[in-house]
């Protein structure tokens, strides 16, 4: 057996519940590729603030960097909401992890399962055939720019370098080569100088990928097109803030944000995998959270970081089979508990 190390960051709210089911599922299927996973768990986010006074305790980043992959549940919740710039916030842990691990590209696949078409707020005929990938830049833009307050004035600065744009654009074009060979670059080039640089550099990258079609779309138009014709998109690439918003919008095409996984990748080192949904503190510790997004995130982890494609496919196939048989959690109108859904997936996968 080939041994790999995965750092587990359960986090806050429903995080520990859904991560627990994903871990059991991974342990069930990993041997399909001759893999044995060694798990190492750490506290981050709000629970770490409560325990250590900071969202990312000393040694956690180092442990993640020394691993083969990182599986995260969720961080945050009203308990730790603050408007003071000096108070620790759970989300700081996630930003620090992304920056510290050099994770510059967030991949969010959106492919609704036919059995759940009826759960989407969009009409079935509008979402049929949807299979898109949002590639979001993760370590630049307004989230990492200079910010502050000066009297009654507050500011957040959005800036990008050509190198930052190029590396995430290359991820998008390489992804498109394995899909339907179309990239939609989303910006606000009619207003923002950073977007004009973004568009210019994406055009340069596109010239190196002549087999991939490139289209440009303003972010406000993209927001409308995502709900009016989602099946027309293949790969969407965009900057940090726009990607944060658009990927959550795209998530609802599937009927529930509880169904969607994500992968955060860099040039070297471990990837970080997490469900798109948040910590959902209103349903935490009730055993009703949907673990599918975390399980599918684990499948991405197996495929991209652990070289276990058969195990990844086993998880994805199990999800389609279980949901196709009509089983679902409460967010999709079903009655399955978190643990019951985990048991169903484990049974289908093995």
CA 227 to chain centre: 20
Distance CA 46, CA 42 (A): 12
In angstroms, the CA 189 to CA 216 distance is 10
- Of 31, 33, 248, 307, the catalytic one is 248
Which residue among the candidates 12, 68, 188, 327 is catalytic per the annotation?
188
The closest alpha carbon to 340, from 276, 283, 288, 296, belongs to 288
- Contact call for residues 282 and 318 (beta carbons, < 8 A): no
Q: Which of 135, 154, 251, 265 is nearest to 202 (CA)?
A: 135
Q: Catalytic pick from 12, 68, 117, 143? A: 143
DSSP characters for 143-207?
Answer: GTS-EEEETTEEEE-----HHHHHHHHHHHHHHHHTTTSEEEEEE-TTT-HHHHHHHHHHHHHHH
The CA-based diameter of the chain, rounded to the nearest angstrom, is 61
Could you confirm whether 220 is annotated as catalytic? yes
Q: Is 68 a catalytic residue?
A: no
Q: Confirm whether 304 is a catalytic residue.
A: no
Find the catalytic residue in 31, 131, 244, 307. Answer: 244
Q: How far apart are CA 244 and CA 203, in angstroms?
A: 22
Active site residues: 143, 188, 220, 244, 248
């Amino acid at each position: 057996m080939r041994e790999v190390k995965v750092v587990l960051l359960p986090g806050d709210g429903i995080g520990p519940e859904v991560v627990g089911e994903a871990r059991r599922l991974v342990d069930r299927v990993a041997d399909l590729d001759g893999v044995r996973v060694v798990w190492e768990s750490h506290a981050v986010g709000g629970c770490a603030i409560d325990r250590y006074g900071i969202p990312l305790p000393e040694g956690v980043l180092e442990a993640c960097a020394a691993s083969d992959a990182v599986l995260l549940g969720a961080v945050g919740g009203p308990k730790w909401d603050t408007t003071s710039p000096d108070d620790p916030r759970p989300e700081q842990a996630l930003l620090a992890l992304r920056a510290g691990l050099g994770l510059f590209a967030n991949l969010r696949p959106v492919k609704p399962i036919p059995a759940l078409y009826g759960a989407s707020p969009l009409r079935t005929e509008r979402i049929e055939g949807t299979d898109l990938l949002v590639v979001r830049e993760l370590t630049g833009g307004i989230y990492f720019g200079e910010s502050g307050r000066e009297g009654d004035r507050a500011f957040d600065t959005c800036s990008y370098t050509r190198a930052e744009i190029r590396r995430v654009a290359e991820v998008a074009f390489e992804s498109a080569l394995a899909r339907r060979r179309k990239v939609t670059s989303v910006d606000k080039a009619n207003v923002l100088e950073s977007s004009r640089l973004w568009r210019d550099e994406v055009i340069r990258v596109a010239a190196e990928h002549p087999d991939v079609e490139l289209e440009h779309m303003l972010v406000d138009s993209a927001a409308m097109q995502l709900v009016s014709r989602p099946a027309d998109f293949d790969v969407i690439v965009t900057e940090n803030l726009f990607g944060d918003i658009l990927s959550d919008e795209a998530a609802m095409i599937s009927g529930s944000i509880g169904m969607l996984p994500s992968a955060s990748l860099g040039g070297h080192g471990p990837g970080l995998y997490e469900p798109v949904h948040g910590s959902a503190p209103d349903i935490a510790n009730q055993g009703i959270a949907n673990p599918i997004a975390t399980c599918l995130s684990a499948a991405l982890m197996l495929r991209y970081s652990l070289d276990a494609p058969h195990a990844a496919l086993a998880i994805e196939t199990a999800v389609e089979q279980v949901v196709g048989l009509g089983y679902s959690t409460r967010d999709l109108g079903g009655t399955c508990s978190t643990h019951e859904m985990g048991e169903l997936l484990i049974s289908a996968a093995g």
